[in-house]
Amino acid sequence: LNQKIEILDELCVNQIAAGEVVERPSSVVKELIENAIDAGARKIEIIIERGGESYLQVKDDGYGMSSADLELAILPHATSKIKSIEDLKHLETLGFRGEALPSIAAVSKLSIISRQATEIGGHEIRVEGGKVVSFTEIGCPQGTTVTVKDLFYNTPARRKFLRSANTEAGLISDLVSRLALANPNISFSLRRSKNQLLYSPGKGNLRDTIAAVYGAETARQMLELSVEKRDLRISGYLSSPNLVRSSRNSLTFIVNGRVVRSQLLNQALRDGYHTLIPAKTYPFAVVVLTMPASNYDVNVHPAKLEIKFNNEKNLAFELTTAIRQTLLQTHPVRSTILEQDPYITLPESTLNGPKSQGASIDSQNLSLNICTANENKIPFLVSESADPSPVKTQGLFQELRALGQLFNMYLLCTDDKNLYVIDQHAAHERLRYDELTAQLKEQGLTSQMLLFPEVLELTPHEESILLENLEELQSLGFIIENYGARAYFLRAVPTGRNLREPGSLFREFIAEVLAKSRLPSSEKLLEEWIYMVACRTALKLTLD
């Protein structure tokens, strides 16, 4: 074995470094847009082909680069944004490492065309796999246009990690949406081949940008957040507790113009909503934090996606409080509508299915038995008493006598020996599930027309997931019709006629089920839909 140490050549170093910065087409788009923002652009146009792997372009009207800078820009550690590490304490730009362009150049065929306002002509530099192949004068408008072709053409192992073109395009539109939300005064346009996926007006109004991304109706319903505490300003928009999603993807945090991912902020926001929204649902929010740059460190994540706050506890507390106050001021009471007759009968199957829950107290042995089901909705029982063999599942409920109801949520039953505490919603959900499955068996796969077609305004990401699964969904009985930019009519569903708000249920379905890493089979899709319908139509009583 040759163990002699050698220093890697520059190209190899850049290709390895690129792995950190450039994970997929959306990370390239992110770096290029951030450069455009740093260059003072007012208008940023992005074009992708398929998922951006073969072709993507970002064009800005920013201040451009001189020919000398253009040659330097693609070299590692070349940046105009900081001079020393001290500058990070008061950083006003998104970039600071001088790593993005050389990393992209190392793993693609790159062209940068740029012209500064003071120059008559511009220049184009072309780089392939890290090597400059041409440098020429060229006529062009002021600003910079970066075109990236054949991403990862020389690093096939990386290319293998890419997902389908639709998924990659979805990730790009999700990213552009968030960057547009962080920069309401910049107009963003994202096109995929000839389709306009996103357009934001760039007139400086965040609610207008939210409307461009999530639809006008959603934007109209959101609550304004605006709180100031010493050097911290918290602003943005929040969903009212009635407007929730089942995926946490709809939270955007912006710190001094930078879109960041943060567990801390996610949790703080959820804490603000605590008890106001149902478990397993997520609020929907764009939170804009403004604070001195010295209050956090940006140099902690290779793709600059996360930042580290100095005083995390205090920040979380302030955010939770601001959200709580805003929600309570505008929505003091949560209404519960009783959709069904609250009397139900419980057959034997109640405990043996998805999400069944219940508890029993053995009065002689003084032990508490809790019956529940696991996350995968596979029927099973857990006993918390010392010996699980007291727990009988078969025929359990047939021998029960109802004693009454507790907190409007639980049925209290007895078999004269044990006390059973049954979660009514879970039990009813199970009943509905059985009913729907039986109905499906009897009638086969059919489309059930909705009384009124439901209008769906989808985000670019949701749309790409929908389109990717359209055929499968149609074969199950969904009838979905495109009628405008990211707008669809939902006309029929496979089961569950007379659903309330089928549109929002269908959106949840898209987010939850279809966004899974591997595409579910059609039986699985159908099962999940029935499950969601059952959950939605089951009796729901809450302690308010």
Binding residues for Mg ion, rule: CB under 5 A, are 35, 95, 100
Give the nearest distance from C-beta 79 to ligand ATP in angstroms. 3
d(CA 41, CA 47): 16
Find the part of the chain contacting ligand ATP (CB under 6 A) among 95-103, 190-198, 204-212, 250-258: 95-103
Give the nearest distance from C-beta 304 to ligand ATP in angstroms. 6
Q: Which residues, in sequence order, are bridge partners of residue 286?
A: 237, 252
Q: Do the beta carbons of residue 239 and residue 246 sit within 8 Å?
A: no
- The entry of Mg ion, ligand ATP, none near residue 183 (CB within 5 to 8 angstroms by kind) is none
Q: Do the beta carbons of residue 490 and residue 529 sit within 8 Å?
A: no
Cα distances from 106 to residues 11, 100, 110, 150, 499, in angstroms, run: 7, 10, 9, 12, 53
By beta carbon distance, the residue nearest Mg ion is 95
Answer yes or no whether residue 79 interacts with ligand ATP by CB under 6 A: yes
φ and ψ of 44, to 5 deg: -130, 125
Find where tokens 């009783």 sit: 338
Give the nearest distance from C-beta 97 to ligand ATP in angstroms. 4
- The entry of ligand ATP, Mg ion, none near residue 503 (CB within 5 to 8 angstroms by kind) is none
Binding mask 266-305 for ligand ATP (x = CB under 6 A): ----------------------------------------
Tally of CB atoms within 10 A around 346: 22
Give the nearest distance from C-beta 98 to ligand ATP in angstroms. 4
For ligand ATP, which residue of 25, 51, 95, 236 counts as binding (CB under 6 A)?
A: 95
58/100 with CB nearer Mg ion: 100
H or E, element range at 72: helix 67-73
Q: Interface residues for ligand ATP in 45-74 (CB under 6 A)?
A: 60, 62, 64-65, 73
Give the nearest distance from C-beta 437 to ligand ATP in angstroms. 53
Q: Which residues, in sequence order, are bridge partners of residue 414?
A: 401, 419
Find where tokens 């707008």 sit: 487
Find where tokens 């490492």 sit: 97
Binding mask 126-145 for ligand ATP (x = CB under 6 A): ------------------x-
Span between the terminal Cα atoms of the chain, in Å: 71
Distance of CA 259 to the CA centre of its chain: 13
By beta carbon distance, the residue nearest ligand ATP is 95
d(CA 164, CA 50): 9
Answer yes or no whether residue 99 interacts with ligand ATP by CB under 6 A: yes
**Interface with ligand ATP (CB under 6 A):** 31, 35-36, 39, 60, 62, 64-65, 73, 78-81, 95-101, 144
